[in-house]
Amino acid sequence: MKKTKVGIVGCGMISDTYFKASQKFRMIEVVACSDIIPERAQAKTELYGVPNMSNDELFAMPEIEIVLNLTPPQVHSKIAMDTLNAGKNAYSEKPFGVDADDAAKVIALGQSKGLRVGCAPDTFLGGGQQTARKILDDGWIGKPLSGTAIVMGRGPEKWPQAPFFYDYGAGPMLDLGPYYMTALVNLLGPAKSVTAVTTRGSDFRTIGDKVAEQYQDMVQPFGQYPVTVTTHLTGVVEFQCGAVITVIASFDVYKHGHRPIEIYGSEGSMQVPDPNTFGGPVTVCRKGDKEWHDVPLTHTYTDNSRSIGAADMAIALRNNRPHRVNGSLANHVLDIMLSFDKSSKAGCKVELSTTCERPKPLPLGLEVGELDD
């Protein structure tokens, strides 16, 4: 099979996962990489044998059809615009952007140029989330009525890059919310409204013994750095299908006992696995049952397969079908996430201005490396 050529822009921490996981997909091949810090791209050339160059040189390579944008959230929209203006399809790491207007411009540019736009997470194509989707679609728990999506912890407060996670463009919602909100839209379809109260537990955090280079002017080992975003967001997302999901995303919690996602339906309940992973477990308790039962996973891709969304885009381009991990899904997820702070500030329910199609499920019986035509 002729492979679709892919370029990676941004050779930081997550890029290793993409360099490695993309090798399992027979329809894509990473042929170039770049980073604003050239040594970082050079290091990936040494590890993976992929030539490195400047962003402009990468955008100018005619054989590249898809650019994987693995830069920090604040530059996602700009790199996506540069990609589209270079005539290439744009696939970004999450979140789709940090500003709704900039994100909308990316969608509009993609449409006007007839190019594809996509954005992580693609974990909802993993075996765990696809099994949960099949259980819902097959009616095991009846009509979904309500549920919970809960992601809580202290956040990566001691990491060398910690200040990033507590600053504009991150926080628990923009950093981890994409996994949860995308999983919910995959299960339930698009949302209608968000009603939320958001807050933060403290104005400063203390870093660990290592400080990343870019923060060394601002903070010393074990020193304090500022928290500029809300770090505890609690709210209700109302879906167009009628289900209402209670959502908590927090960096202010030491320990809790909640499952990542639970869906309660007219005929039973389902526990959905961590949407930041590809695997299970999926458990179900149906009307008449006393206990939860493990459901065997029905779908392939149960280990880390980040880049499956780009692989699906490559097949979709070739066969002129919609790609699943697409811009309108990511833009809708961004709208949901940004609406938490918006609702809290306004003191009222926010009706969402975006919507999207519920992505088509993956078929059963795929081999690893394969996707449907």
The residues binding ligand NAD (CB under 6 A) are 9-15, 34-37, 40, 55, 70-73, 75, 79, 93-94
Q: Name the minimum Å distance from CB 313 to ligand NAD.
A: 17
Please give the distance of CA 233 from its chain centroid, rounded to a whole number: 18
Q: Which is nearer to ligand NAD, 75 or 295 (CB)?
A: 75
Q: Name the minimum Å distance from CB 88 to ligand NAD.
A: 15
Q: Name the minimum Å distance from CB 174 to ligand NAD.
A: 8
Q: Name the minimum Å distance from CB 103 to ligand NAD.
A: 13
Rounded to whole angstroms, the maximal C-alpha distance in the chain is 62
Closest residue to ligand NAD, based on beta-carbon distance: 12
Task: Kindly state the tokens that stand for 157.
Answer: 């407060």
* Cα–Cα dist 340/195, whole Å: 7
Q: Which is nearer to ligand NAD, 34 or 269 (CB)?
A: 34
Q: Which is nearer to ligand NAD, 121 or 361 (CB)?
A: 121
Q: Which is nearer to ligand NAD, 55 or 298 (CB)?
A: 55
Q: Which is nearer to ligand NAD, 210 or 321 (CB)?
A: 210
**Cβ-proximal residues to 236 (8 Å cutoff; 6+ apart), any chain:** 194, 195, 196, 244, 245, 246, 247
Q: Name the minimum Å distance from CB 255 to ligand NAD.
A: 22
**Radius of gyration over every alpha carbon of the chain, rounded to an integer in angstroms:** 20
Q: Which is nearer to ligand NAD, 93 or 312 (CB)?
A: 93
User: 3-class secondary structure for the chain?
Assistant: CCCEEEEEECCCCCHHHHHHHHHHCCCEEEEEEECCCHHHHHHHHHHHCCCEECHHHHHCCCCEEEEEECCCHHHHHHHHHHHHHCCCEEEECCCCCCCHHHHHHHHHHHHHHCCCEEECCCHHHCHHHHHHHHHHHCCCCCCEEEEEEEEECCCCCCCCCHHHHCCCCCHHHHHHHHHHHHHHHHHHCCEEEEEEEEECCCCEEECCCCCCHHHCCCCCCCCEEECCCCCEEEEEEEECCCCEEEEEEECCCCCCCCCCEEEEECCEEEEECCCCCCCCCEEEEECCCCCCEEECCCCCCCCCCCCHHHHHHHHHHHHCCCCCCEHHHHHHHHHHHHHHHHHHHHCCCEECCCCCCCCCCCCCCCCCCCCCC
Q: Name the minimum Å distance from CB 75 to ligand NAD.
A: 5
Q: Which is nearer to ligand NAD, 163 or 268 (CB)?
A: 163
Q: Which is nearer to ligand NAD, 25 or 91 (CB)?
A: 91
Q: Name the minimum Å distance from CB 156 to ligand NAD.
A: 9
Q: Name the minimum Å distance from CB 201 to ligand NAD.
A: 22
Q: Which is nearer to ligand NAD, 95 or 265 (CB)?
A: 95
Q: Name the minimum Å distance from CB 117 to ligand NAD.
A: 16
